[in-house]
Amino acid sequence: MIDDFFGAIRIGLVKQAALGFFDSGVGGLTVVRAVQDLLPHEDVIYLGDTARLPYGSKSPETIRQFADEDVNFLLSKGVKAIVVACNTATAHALPSLQQKYEIPIMGVILPGVEAALADPTAERIGIIATRGTIGSHVYQHALATRRTGLMIHGIAAPLLVPLIEENWISEEVTQQVLLKYLQPLIDKGIDTLMLACTHYPLLVPVLKEVLPSDVRLVDSATTCAEHLKIMLEKIDLLSDQEEDGKLSIYLTDLSEQFEELARRFLKRSTGKIHRAVVG
Ligand code: DGL
């Protein structure tokens, strides 16, 4: 499955360069956290396109344009590889980005699918994601082509990203919204729920309250970090520095609550946050 993540590889990329990540907002930091845990010596440059969030309700053409501009910003910072840490952008833009740029670019969807299918007994799979991701059918297709006989049910949950970006994670309204979205999946007796938006891992405590206890929650962050490591090893681009990697965060709009929210995602300090001009 790994080879699906490679774009063309440019000769001359250097081990010491940073890894680039982008998302519409804070969500992709869940992937950064998993990568920092597994690859602590890698420098990371993170771009959150907060000025144009949410991506999930935009058209595929607009997502492709935004993703292209995000990649260009990261390339201007000299990154050696890019992770599209956004399911919506992965669904609509990953193939065109991989075709266009001579740098390794990977997304989060196939790692998520691999994580879901790691349990051989998984049969009834629910997916929650943005409208854009559900409408693309990329998850549904990737699951169905890898295991026959699955019951797959996808639900678009457009209210969740604004609630998370507002830091309303523990509010009662968030629990009510989740229950409203998830009731049809609970009624169908799902055994696995895929958190197919990089923002959603922050909702795990609330999800555990709302869902039957035997439903397995799956997200792509850990598997994505493992695939990134394998990819970097394969092309000899793992950092060889001995000190801990540095994290630089760039946002296209600086909101007051970002720093606190980012700390919740990363479970560590964010360092200085910079303003980015993209596009
Ligand atoms: N975190 C993003 C995702 O994984 C998108 C959220 C949004 O901007 O709608 O899909």
Taken in order of first residue, the domains within the chain and their CATH numbers are 2-107+223-275 (3.40.50.1860), 110-220 (3.40.50.1860)
Q: Evaluate whether 163 touches 203 at the Cβ level (below 8 Å).
A: no
Mind listing the pLDDT tens digit for each residue in 14-64? 899 999 999 999 899 999 999 999 999 999 999 999 999 999 999 999 999
Mean pLDDT of 77-101: 97
Please state the pTM of the whole predicted model: 0.94
Mean pLDDT of the chain: 93
Query: First vs last Cα of the chain: how many Å apart?
Result: 32
Atom of ligand 1 nearest to the CA of 86: 4
* Centre of ligand 1 from the C-alpha of residue 54, in Å: 6
* Centre of ligand 1 from the C-alpha of residue 156, in Å: 11
Q: Is the pLDDT confidence value at 150 over 80?
A: yes
Mind listing the pLDDT tens digit for each residue in 171-188? 999 999 999 999 999 999
Residue 87 Cβ inside 6 Å of ligand 1? The answer reads yes
Of 53, 47, 10, 13, the C-alpha closest to 31 is 47
Catalytic (active-site) positions: 86, 197
Query: Computed from CA positions of residues 108, 277, 135, 168, in that sequence, does the dihedral angle turn out positive or negative?
Result: positive
Of 216, 156, 221, the C-alpha closest to 192 is 216
Q: Evaluate whether 84 touches 105 at the Cβ level (below 8 Å).
A: yes
Mind listing the pLDDT tens digit for each residue in 92-108? 999 999 999 999 999 99
Q: Starting at the edge strand that comes first in sequence, how are the strands of the sheet with 247-251 ordered? A: 105-106, 81-84, 19-23, 44-48, 247-251, 273-275
Residue type, 60: P
Specify the pLDDT at position 88.
98
Residue 184, preceding peptide bond in cis (omega within 30° of 0)? no
